[in-house]
């Protein structure tokens, strides 16, 4: 950061999150839609976590990873949706500087953790289908739990540097964020209006791109090998089961990465007005909503376990 930037004090004590500007009646309608989506997301992902916990048949690496992934989705929607819902009913739509940076850290850390979990889940399917004889000895429950711990710890460490850099940026006046959360791109745009910050933009963009593309190419490479192995399975039933599992994983991967790449490969680059909030909405709200349906509806073991657990109530 330049000496000029250091000399500019933080004159912004709060930010205004525009969200989705529209008439009050439309705000209430959007609040109702997103509130129902939020509750359904929590219930769907909590159901997967509970089913895996209660059904001992699902105490295998694949379902342990799935349960942790569902718990991650619960945390993910709670990092942005409650504040978005409150803003629909708020007249001021403000968020303090400290809370804004805290939301930024948790939102990005959970997003990073999601990228890592999707990679580990791809590795699990690669081992199970391409190396079935070695799978039980490699992917033990203990090793699986170690991978889970790695995802959570590394996920919350990866984005520390960008967030620390953002805390040092000069926000000298403009404080309106055309989004429903404190996102990296809009914050960098506000800081850029005060002084040039090419170094911070470069570091944030590089770290985002490195994470996104490294995990995406690893996942697509793993599933390419998996699908190649699936078509060589002699049993039609075995081929159908393997393809069903992999297709549900791939659906989640492309839903998540498709919108993430549009948003974070080049943060602060000035995307089309209003476009970023919709791509952010897609992967941060809608993807966690669809995930339980994708995983449960296309997985016989999960459907049977859900029926068994729900039938007990």
* CATH number (domain holding residue 126): 1.20.1070.10
Under DSSP, the state recorded for 232 is T
Asked if residue 4 belongs to a domain, the reply is no
Evaluate whether residue 28 is within a structural domain.
yes
CA dist 56 and 38 (Å) reads: 29
Candidate from 131-140, 177-186, 196-205, 232-241 with smallest mean pLDDT: 232-241
Please check whether residue 65 lies inside any domain of the structure.
yes
Taking the C-alpha atoms of residue 160 and residue 163, their distance in angstroms, rounded to an integer, is 5
Say if 49 falls within a structural domain. Answer: yes
Distance of alpha carbon 300 from alpha carbon 313, whole angstroms:
21
Q: What is the pLDDT of residues 130-172, one digit of tens each?
A: 898 999 999 999 999 999 999 999 999 998 999 999 998 888 8
- Give me the sign of the Cα torsion angle 185, 188, 192, 194: positive
pLDDT in tens, 32-72: 999 999 999 999 999 899 889 888 888 999 899 999 999 99
Structural domain boundaries, residue 42: 14-299
Number of domains making up the chain = 1
Residue 66 belongs to some domain of the structure: yes
Domain-embedded: residue 52: yes
| Inside any domain, residue 70 | yes
Q: Is 21 part of a structural domain of the chain?
A: yes
């Amino acid at each position: 950061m330049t000496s000029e930037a250091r000399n500019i004090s933080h004159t912004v004590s709060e930010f205004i999150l525009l969200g989705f500007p529209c008439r009050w009646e439309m705000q209430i309608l959007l609040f109702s839609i997103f509130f129902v989506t939020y509750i359904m997301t929590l219930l769907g992902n909590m159901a997967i976590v509970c089913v895996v916990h209660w059904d001992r048949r699902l105490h295998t690496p694949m379902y342990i990873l799935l349960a942790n992934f569902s718990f991650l989705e619960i945390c993910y929607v709670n990092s942005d949706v409650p504040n978005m819902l409150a803003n629909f009913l708020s007249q001021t739509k403000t968020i303090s500087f400290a809370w804004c940076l805290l939301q930024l850290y948790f939102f990005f850390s959970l997003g990073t953790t999601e990228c890592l979990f999707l990679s580990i889940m791809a590795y699990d399917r690669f081992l199970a289908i391409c190396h079935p004889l070695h799978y039980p000895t490699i992917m033990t429950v203990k090793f699986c739990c170690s991978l889970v711990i790695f995802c959570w710890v590394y996920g919350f460490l990866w984005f520390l540097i960008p967030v620390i850099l953002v805390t040092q940026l000069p926000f000298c006046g403009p404080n309106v964020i055309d989004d429903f959360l404190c996102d990296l791109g809009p914050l960098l745009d506000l800081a850029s209006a005060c002084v040039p910050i090419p170094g911070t933009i470069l570091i944030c963009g590089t770290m985002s791109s490195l994470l996104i593309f490294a995990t995406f190419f690893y996942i697509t490479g793993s599933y390419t090998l998996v699908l190649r192995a699936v078509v060589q399975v002699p049993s039609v039933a075995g081929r159908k089961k393997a393809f069903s599992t992999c297709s549900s994983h791939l659906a989640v991967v492309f839903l998540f990465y498709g919108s993430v790449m549009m948003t974070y490969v080049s943060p602060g680059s000035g995307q089309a007005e209003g476009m970023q909030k919709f791509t952010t909405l897609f992967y941060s709200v809608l993807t966690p909503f669809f995930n339980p349906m994708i995983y449960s509806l296309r997985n016989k073991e999960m459907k049977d376990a859900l029926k068994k657990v729900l039938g007990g109530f």
